[in-house]
Structure 1
Amino acid sequence: MDPRIREHAETIVDHSTGIESGDTVVIQLPPEAEDLAVALAELCGDRGAQPVWISNAERFSRAFKRAADGFEEAAHELAMYEETDVFIIARGGANVTEGADVDPETNAAYNRARKAIKEERLSKTWCLTQVPTSGHAQLAGMSTEGYQNFVYDAVSLDWAAQREFQSNLVEILDDAETVRIRSGEETDITLSIAGNTALNDYGEANLPGGEVFTAPVPDGVDGHVHFDLPLYRYGREIEDVRLTFEDGRVVDHSAGRNEDLLTAILETDEGSRRLGELGIGMNRQIDRFTYNMLFDEKMGDTVHMAVGSAYDDCVGEGNEVNESAEHVDMIVDMSEDSTLEVDGEVIQRNGTFVFEDDFDGVDDAAPEDAGDDVPDDDAVA
């Protein structure tokens, strides 16, 4: 076994989830991840925990979705998670486009039926990570060995140091009212985060970590945004997403590729037309785009927003939690012609934060074509 697999498992068990004696643990991994499952089983045994491994096979999921005539809540699966203390899941199937021929409306119906299961899993201690398979290496445009090195370098970061670095941004967002994001000519969006909490992701629920994230107030988002980096969802690539928000709701949308899938996502339920997350990437170790949101959303020089469900821990007392069966992250490249403002103060310019040595504080460096007011009619997606 590659010793890095054992190290990966140790990070999951000891840093990300803190598994202890007596814990019940559900390990959901693809068949290609048997070595990681074995390493996790050994560590659970060492610590007195009780694990079960269930397969996370995309071929299985595809077959069921295409054959079923409607979906119901899987009460037996829900019962398993109700009795679970820790949930570990990894991506890494052999074919990243396995579900590409599942109808978008079918995926939406499937997610609605599983909403209670998703919420139960998120209420537990959980960790989402990646197994470096050849399928994801091909998607990233890398050799299998190169992708393995990329993944293992990203998950073995000095997480204490990363936490300290990211705490600078958490401090800025504490008690903040609004965030404004401007990038190029097509992104100018303002989000209220009043009363909500910014969380420091340093490799716990997500491994790798490397972001600070919060929840926008559901009706407090206005403006337009161009997500200029693509994403994979249900085995299909969505490109050039453009969204327009009014009073928190998507009122216009488009995509350069697979717009039908984007439409289906937004029509899943009422909450899927609102933002559930604003995340700011801060992991400088992740320095290339790989078509894998677990990594791409953590890249320095990016921000991401997710339509759909909000994380309860981000929502302040008395504020509304945006609820949805979906949670779909989309990314804006902030490396050029971009500013990030908090309560009117520029805290990042062209991907560099005010607390980094090479920050350029020139006020007139903001995007030239971005007006002082958030537009209320442009946009899309």
Structure 2
Amino acid sequence: MDPRIREHAEIIVNHSIDCSEGDNVVIDAHPVAEGLVTAIVEAVAEVGGHPLVIQERLGKRFRRAYLKHYDGEFEAPEHTHALYEAMDAYIAIKGGDNETELGDVDTETQSAYEKAYEPVRETRLNKTWNLTLYPAAANAQQAEMATEEYENFVYDAIVKDWDAVRDHQQEMADRLTDADEVRIVSGETTDLTMSVAGNETLNDYGENNLPGGEVFTAPVKDSVDGEAYFDIPIYHQGREIDGARLVFEDGKVIEHSAEKNEELLTDVLETDEGARYLGELGIGMNRDIDRFTRNILFDEKMGDTVHMAVGRAYPETVGENNVQNESAVHVDMILDMSEDSYIELDGEVVQRNGTFWFEE
């Protein structure tokens, strides 16, 4: 076994979920990740935990079969809900699936399914959880990289000193927490302002997401104004949205377009009332992620980028006097900040062309 797989597993068990004796741990993974799953099971056992391996959330082929053949109203099964209520920690391992597996399932069906399973998702997110990736050949192909090249890329982004990452990112997290107004400008296509007053900025150093490497918060719901053009594509529901453009007024998307799959973007924004508001502002700080790979777990952490998610806000980022944006979706969109770009906090430039003030 590649020794980096064991390092990956040990980071997940001992850092990301901080597994303890007696913990019930659910591991949700594609079979291609068998080596990583085995190493995680061993690490959980060594601390006295109880692992259970399933294919529920990440078995896209199984989900496609269900969505294509079920003819009725979706509802979250009680036994699925019960599993997540009973567990102490959840580990989801992406990798190996055909990312376009759901591409021939109509978006209305997928949206209805997501809405029905929202209570299950909330239960899962209210427990200790970690989302990571095993570098399978299918993911390398999607990233347009050789398999070995992709493995090196993934492990460079994951196997690192996450306490040092936390310390490096904390300056930006503290500065964003203390700020009232954020302005993001990129070229002639993006000029957006929003308030983050009273909201909390979280420092992602490999706990919920592995790799980590971002700081993120929630905008005040009705405060977003201006226009943003997202020049890095994303995958959603098995298809790529490219060149998305959103115009905001009083927090709400009032105009939108996309150069590819605009109808999918429209479907996202029409999921529910909260889907037309921003739930997250994130700043990518992991410079070992130095290229777009069509995998949001990595792409949103990319150094020199900013991402914004329409839809659900994470409750941990919303201050007690502010309103949490509620939605069945949370779709991240990314823009490159490496050239002709800057971030202002309360009128002060804190990042220009990807470089933070404390790095100059």
- 2:290 maps to 287
Q: Where does 1:100-179 land on structure 2 (aligned, <5 Å)?
A: 100-179=103-182
- 2:220 maps to 217
**What code does the residue aligned with 2:253 have?**
V
**What code does the residue aligned with 2:63 have?**
S
Distance 2:21 2:151 in 1: 31
Q: CA deviation at 1:73?
A: 2.0
Q: Where does 1:141-290 land on structure 2 (aligned, <5 Å)?
A: 141-290=144-293
Q: CA deviation at 1:125?
A: 0.8
- 2:8 maps to 8
Q: CA deviation at 1:220?
A: 1.1
Q: Where does 1:289-368 land on structure 2 (aligned, <5 Å)?
A: 289-357=292-360
- 1:79 maps to 82
SS at match of 2:235: strand
1:286–1:299 contact (8 Å) kept in structure 2 = yes
Q: CA deviation at 1:94?
A: 3.5
**What code does the residue aligned with 1:7 have?**
E
1:302–1:351 contact (8 Å) kept in structure 2 = yes
**What code does the residue aligned with 2:23 have?**
D
Deviations 1:131-177 (CA, angstroms, capped at 9, x unpaired):
10111101111001111111111111221111111011012112211
**What code does the residue aligned with 1:60 have?**
F
- Of 64, 78, 84, 2:66 maps to 64
Give me the TM-score of the superposition, normalised by structure 1: 0.92
**What code does the residue aligned with 2:60 have?**
E
1:25–1:52 contact (8 Å) kept in structure 2 = yes
Aligned residues: 357
Distance 1:86 1:64 in 2: 26
2:24–2:87 contact (8 Å) kept in structure 1 = yes
1:58–1:93 contact (8 Å) kept in structure 2 = no
Distance 1:343 1:288 in 2: 30
- 1:360 maps to none
Distance 1:25 1:61 in 2: 22
Distance 1:222 1:105 in 2: 29
1:94–1:134 contact (8 Å) kept in structure 2 = no
Distance 1:74 1:182 in 2: 45
Distance 2:274 2:68 in 1: 25
Q: CA deviation at 1:212?
A: 0.4
Distance 1:109 1:167 in 2: 39
**What code does the residue aligned with 1:48 have?**
G
Distance 1:261 1:82 in 2: 33
Q: CA deviation at 1:106?
A: 1.1
Q: CA deviation at 1:2?
A: 1.9
Q: Please, which runs of 5 or more residues in structure 1 have no aligned partner?
A: 358-381
Q: Does 1:18 align with 2:18?
A: yes
**What code does the residue aligned with 1:313 have?**
E
Identical residues among aligned pairs (%): 60
2:59–2:97 contact (8 Å) kept in structure 1 = no
Give me the TM-score of the superposition, normalised by structure 2: 0.97
- 1:363 maps to none
Q: CA deviation at 1:234?
A: 1.4
**What code does the residue aligned with 1:15 have?**
H
Q: CA deviation at 1:184?
A: 0.9
- 1:41 maps to 41
Q: Please, which runs of 5 or more residues in structure 2 have no aligned partner?
A: none
Q: CA deviation at 1:303?
A: 0.2
1:339–1:350 contact (8 Å) kept in structure 2 = yes
Distance 1:223 1:66 in 2: 40
Q: CA deviation at 1:93?
A: 2.4
**What code does the residue aligned with 2:328 have?**
A
Q: Does 1:30 align with 2:30?
A: yes
Distance 2:157 2:287 in 1: 9
Q: CA deviation at 1:19?
A: 0.4
**What code does the residue aligned with 1:5 have?**
I
- 2:52 maps to 52
Distance 2:87 2:182 in 1: 37
